[in-house]
Structure 1
Amino acid sequence: MSDDEIDYGNMMHDAMRGLIRDVLARVAKTGLPGEHHFFISFDTGHPDVEIADWLSDRFPADMTIVMQHWFDDLEVDDDGFAVTLNFNDQPERMYVPYDAIRTFVDPSVEFGLRFESQEAENIEKAPEEPRPLREPRKDGEDAPDRAEEASRAAEVVSLDSFRK
């Protein structure tokens, strides 16, 4: 992009990551209000993601975490958030930078955001409509994962549809 163009796509991504930061900072202070809960998927291969080795082995590309009933010690800073989550009765601390987040969904209010990387944009043109969050099953059928179930009624905004 040249200096005489405004990079609206990256500016929108920065603004939406700021929104996520503000929401998480509020939750860190006061807890989750009402029925709010979050499905957050992120790139586990991002260089600044900090997760247990067994989690990165199990989820080498991405994973979705749920912040609802049990999470502890949520800390939010300008670059990302740290939280302790329970995996099969085993607490695990993790750090997720905002620029590693791929989706953020709060199904209680039908809200969702999808971030697509520049690399993915170079491989294929971003779709006009957001794609559902799903993982293919081995039998060839598409099986909904937890994030898709949460986002079925949620509006997912694909910010890359605004890029050139």
Structure 2
Amino acid sequence: MSQDLMNYDQMTQLALRGVVRDAIRRVIREDGLPGAHHFYITFLTRYPGVEIDETLAKKYPEEITIVLEHQFWDLNAYADEFEVTLKFGGIPKYLKVPYLAISRFHDPSVGFALQFDPPSEMDPIASGAAELRAVKDTDRPSPAIAAQTETTATDKAETKKSGKKKAKSDKASEGDASDETANVVSLDAFRKK
């Protein structure tokens, strides 16, 4: 068999990352996740271009899984990255994630899952960022509501009352991060009954 000079594996990986981008854009267009859909997105916390709160980066030095389900704020999807604000321990945290940093994407409501090959190097250019960036990004989406990894009943009630709730990245509360505890919380606790 001949050597693959077309790099089909890399092209497939980039195309599947485009599926993740398109799924996030659809959530934005539809002002939330349709039906029972929700996303588990696992990404490398130290990948170039990832913006994550330092306390989260220390707690999750390799990778972290976030959940977009009922509450999230400031969700935007661009050609080569997405950004979102989620609450961790009740504190809003801004995240910026290049699609190339994503290692897994899962929508358990329909049994859809993608697992990506780890980048051969921690260099976005070497791992295909230039090709992904070349995809035209014509529409800059607006913020939408979604889910979070940790929440309280109060947050849920406020969100239901207001319909939409915006959270700001609270960089001043980084010092309050020491109040966070390492509680393991079942994701089933946040699902609608």
What's the TM-score once normalised by structure 1's chain length? 0.69
Instruction: Give the equivalent residue in structure 2 for 1:9.
Output: 9
User: CA offsets, 1:124-154, max 9 Å, x none?
Assistant: xxxxxxxxxxxxxxxxxxxxx979x9xxxxx
Runs (4+) of structure 1 exceeding 4 A deviation are: none
Letter in 2 for 1:88: G
SS of equivalent to 1:50: coil
TM-superposed deviation, 1:70: 1.2
- Alpha-carbon distance between aligned partners in 2 of 1:146 and 1:116, rounded to the nearest angstrom: 28
Q: Structure 1 pair 96/146, CA: closer, same or farther in 2 (3 Å)?
A: farther
Shift of 1:119: 3.5
SS at match of 1:35: coil
Q: Give the aligned residue type for 1:43.
A: L
SS class of match (1:103): strand
Partner residue in 2 for 1:108: 109
Q: Which runs of 5+ in 2 are unaligned?
A: 122-184, 189-193
Q: How far did 1:89 drift? A: 1.1
Structure 1 residues 64 and 84: alpha-carbon distance in aligned structure 2, compared to 1, 3 A threshold:
same
In structure 1, C-alpha distance between the alignment counterparts of 2:4 and 2:54, rounded to whole Å: 44
Give the Cα–Cα distance (whole angstroms) in 2 for the partners of residues 58 and 94 of structure 1.
15
Unaligned ranges ≥5, structure 1: 121-144, 150-164
Q: How many angstroms apart in 2 are the aligned matches of 1:117 and 1:41?
A: 12
Task: Give the match's secondary structure for 1:108.
Answer: coil
Give distance in 1, aligned partners of 2:49 and 2:103.
14
Report the Cα distance in structure 1 between the residues aligned to 2:65 and 2:44, rounded to whole angstroms: 9
SS at 2:120's partner residue? helix
Report percent identity of matched pairs: 43
Matched, 1:76 2:77: yes
Deviations 1:106-138 (A, max 9, x none): 000000000122539xxxxxxxxxxxxxxxxxx
**Distance across 2 between alignment mates of 1:118 and 1:51:** 19
How many residue pairs were aligned?
123
**Inter-CA distance 118–89: structure 2 relative to 1 (3 Å threshold):** closer
What is the alpha-carbon distance in structure 1 between the residues aligned to residue 117 and residue 186 of structure 2? 19
Question: Greater relative contact order: 1 or 2 (C-alpha under 8 angstroms, separation 6 or more)?
Answer: 2
Counterpart secondary structure, 1:6:
coil
2: distance between equivalents of 1:73 and 1:90?
15
Larger Rg: 2
TM-aligned CA distance change 1:4 to 1:34, over 3 Å: closer
| CA deviations over 1:23-81 (Å, ceiling 9, x no partner) | 10110121100000000000001011000010001011000001011111100000110
Equivalences for residues 1-164 of structure 1 within 5 A: 5-30=5-30, 31-119=32-120
